[in-house]
Structure 1
């Protein structure tokens, strides 16, 4: 096994292994509903198209120097597929998908797996679980667009990518970028210690590691928001999850609200989540006015980072930072919540916060275990939940010649965060998906209904 081809993982990818905890694995779960997809069709799709991305033939391996991609000498894509012939009803399908969320991936082969339930009510259900170190949501969206053409008679035209050793190139670009970020942080934040740490990071890998320690120490100085108020969302996790998803909602409804209020669709979605969370915090009306609750919101950094630090188009990888958005759980009306969220997201997007969050996570794999925990703690203290929005294609797509009718995904949560919401738009519709640790004791169907009820109130003018 040790003689197989291998190379160092990029820190932006191995960060997801460094931040992982046994009760909170960093695994993305995706579900597609695909009309008429059969096991033979999908097996051929896996062997010919999916496996053309060489990274799927590699597994993450921990060594003294760090995390490596190592080729699986016995790779067989069919070992990564399980076919279930049960005729699931809607309720049975939700229970089955929740069970998959709690099923660990094998450690002795590449960390991804498909489940196909071709006989599920309403069309075949295809579930993918993949460790976040392989790709982020936008990389997976690009993969989907290449593998799933807009016509059932059109095979994928461009697909596949080699797996190359890009660590040296990535590190050189990161050192230069961190040096420039140091100047920006020094000018905009006035935090000399943080700027000095980032500046030192621009010289050598050893200095960059020490900068990671300083970044961890100074993270709170940059993110001035207070830590989240104790609430039922911050209970010790059990490591058992349940998931649920909403019926499709016309995307035009959200666009209409966003245009009328001059906000972004993300603002509308976050305001819906805020309204659903507020009554579930167990706080009195007065306590809500003093409460502090943040959502960790991934934001794409591909336009703000040097090209060498981001996945190339069509390739897998990770290229996003995080905003810690305060949610106005004390808001008195839908419009108040919406406009307060708009104000906060505009402020944070214009700041260096997502860039520094990216730098912190990238530093994590380069630190010894004893120094890595402050990074995880900083992330989990700064937010009680994760909310991720991935825009899909505007038109329907076809997988192995079969129409994809719905897309849904569930995001992992770092540290002690036990609640995640994934929101995806596809073919003119939007769906909410929620995953929660059982320790939170959330009634997920009611939670999603309250999200949609807030959408109705915004549409009616607040």
Structure 2
């Protein structure tokens, strides 16, 4: 019997695999609340037809010395990954949050493919689906798209064609074949780059200068990242316990957020980041803790994959940028302007490309190098913040309407707070996960999100009214 096919794991995916620690399991976790219960048989059929067509979800991780591979699980069984449970009594949001907290604190089974789903009965008159997937399989944006591919735009869609599950195309090669394959790939890449360079030279004589300028900017941003000071010591940065507390807020009206951003002359993202800043200000005030003079930094994933690119290959294709939230600026309008300036500056930088390149480097090197580098970088942020655009219309899973979707990405190193923003069907969802050792009440922080947005929105509308009055006067 031939040995099972092993597919080498990319260096970046391997870096995320090795970040897994007891304090911070590297899982992307999602909760979809559903309007009504769904038949387990229909859910299984949907998962088999749409989720398992990605071969990665049937493969387990195999370590072989200094190399890591994907290998088909010979004992794969959907029942090892999909579980049906029920919440006790008259289960409400608090009970579901408690369950999500427990699951967020528990590692996946590395003997099997690294994902699990729990279908949850008896939740608020309907049901819910809790999903956990290891970060080494793919980045958050890809996995959100995979999860949404399970859904439909109507409760009873017409049967359509679904792409068949693709068998692994990678074949075992001898060392000589692998060497020749690399040489051919490198030669083709070099030829392609040379052709592009010559073409750019003809079309734009200043192209070499721009190329040198880009390289130099990349190096400058690498140095800036390395020299960035550590985060100040606050209650947000404490030794972690590994137990997570999860919470989410009632959604905001996306139309209100858009109107606020228009009144302020910024983007929706600027408004949401300012809202996060205001929530942190309220947290510090409630805990009678001084706000750091230079604000709080959060690590924000920056997508490097075209949004229209097919998700067949999965994998991680994003970098991280360090965003300074001016929590020391108490005036909402001044805070917004500072957030707007910070984001405009980051858009011109190469931080995301720098961190992606570093992850690629760490994934190829020894484990100890990655651990030390990760410790260094995680000391430069107090939280991870994700902002993922979702579908504009409501969706249905196995015939039941998805009423509220939430997703969280893991934190790495000694970062113990993860905040998520997700737009869905004309709403903006806020979620948070906090390590239990950090003195922050996740439910209180979620309330602060609403208070913060109301304050900013009120200031924006008052400012617009004042400007209109001055013009008409």
Check whether TM > 0.5: yes
TM-score after normalising by structure 2 = 0.83
State the 1:187 CA deviation: 2.7
Three-state SS of the structure 1 residue aligned to 2:130 is: strand
Q: Are residues 9 and 178 of structure 1, via their aligned partners in 2, closer, same or farther at CA, if it must alter by over 3 Å?
A: farther
Structure with larger Rg: 2
**Which digits, 9 at most, give the CA deviation of each residue in 1:362-412, with x for residues without a partner?**
211101123222320232022110010111111111222222111001220
CA distance in 2: counterparts of 1:382 and 1:139, whole angstroms: 26
Q: Are residues 183 and 375 of structure 1, via their aligned partners in 2, closer, same or farther at CA, if it must alter by over 3 Å?
A: farther
> Which residue in the other structure is 2:245 paired with?
242
Q: Are residues 189 and 445 of structure 1, via their aligned partners in 2, closer, same or farther at CA, if it must alter by over 3 Å?
A: same
CA distance in 1: counterparts of 2:70 and 2:82, whole angstroms: 21
> Which residue in the other structure is 2:303 paired with?
300
> Which residue in the other structure is 1:49 paired with?
50
Q: Are residues 399 and 225 of structure 1, via their aligned partners in 2, closer, same or farther at CA, if it must alter by over 3 Å?
A: same
CA contact (8 A) 1:258 1:265 kept: yes
CA distance in 1: counterparts of 2:252 and 2:48, whole angstroms: 34
> Which residue in the other structure is 1:187 paired with?
213
Q: Are residues 421 and 289 of structure 1, via their aligned partners in 2, closer, same or farther at CA, if it must alter by over 3 Å?
A: closer
- Which aligned pairs between 1:6-405 and structure 2 lie closer than 5 A? 6-35=6-35, 36-87=37-88, 88-154=91-157, 155=159, 157-159=161-163, 162=166, 163-165=168-170, 187=213, 190=216, 194=219, 219-222=222-225, 224-281=227-284, 288=291, 290-303=293-306, 312-405=310-403
Three-state SS of the structure 1 residue aligned to 2:131 is: strand
CA contact (8 A) 2:232 2:292 kept: no
CA contact (8 A) 2:54 2:312 kept: no
CA distance in 2: counterparts of 1:14 and 1:261, whole angstroms: 42
**Which digits, 9 at most, give the CA deviation of each residue in 1:218-237, with x for residues without a partner?**
94544554221111111011
TM-score after normalising by structure 1 = 0.85
CA contact (8 A) 1:135 1:316 kept: yes
State the 1:255 CA deviation: 1.1
Count, aligned residues: 433
Q: Are residues 445 and 392 of structure 1, via their aligned partners in 2, closer, same or farther at CA, if it must alter by over 3 Å?
A: same
CA contact (8 A) 1:185 1:352 kept: no
- Which aligned pairs between 1:449-460 and structure 2 lie closer than 5 A? 449-460=447-458
CA contact (8 A) 1:51 1:77 kept: no
Three-state SS of the structure 1 residue aligned to 2:432 is: strand
CA distance in 1: counterparts of 2:358 and 2:24, whole angstroms: 19
CA distance in 2: counterparts of 1:108 and 1:183, whole angstroms: 52
Unaligned runs of 5+ in 2: 172-177, 198-207, 461-473
Q: Are residues 172 and 189 of structure 1, via their aligned partners in 2, closer, same or farther at CA, if it must alter by over 3 Å?
A: closer
CA distance in 1: counterparts of 2:339 and 2:312, whole angstroms: 33
- Farther off after superposition, 109-118 or 331-340: 331-340
CA distance in 1: counterparts of 2:397 and 2:13, whole angstroms: 27
Q: Are residues 321 and 422 of structure 1, via their aligned partners in 2, closer, same or farther at CA, if it must alter by over 3 Å?
A: same
Three-state SS of the structure 1 residue aligned to 2:430 is: strand
Q: Are residues 289 and 318 of structure 1, via their aligned partners in 2, closer, same or farther at CA, if it must alter by over 3 Å?
A: closer
State the 1:190 CA deviation: 4.7
State the 1:145 CA deviation: 4.0
Three-state SS of the structure 1 residue aligned to 2:232 is: coil
CA distance in 2: counterparts of 1:175 and 1:420, whole angstroms: 38
Q: Are residues 289 and 82 of structure 1, via their aligned partners in 2, closer, same or farther at CA, if it must alter by over 3 Å?
A: closer
Three-state SS of the structure 2 residue aligned to 1:440 is: coil
Alpha carbon RMSD of aligned pairs, Å? 3.3
Q: Are residues 313 and 98 of structure 1, via their aligned partners in 2, closer, same or farther at CA, if it must alter by over 3 Å?
A: closer
CA contact (8 A) 2:284 2:290 kept: no
CA distance in 2: counterparts of 1:44 and 1:460, whole angstroms: 48
Three-state SS of the structure 2 residue aligned to 1:403 is: strand
- Farther off after superposition, 183-192 or 79-88: 183-192
Unaligned runs of 5+ in 1: 196-217
State the 1:185 CA deviation: 9.0
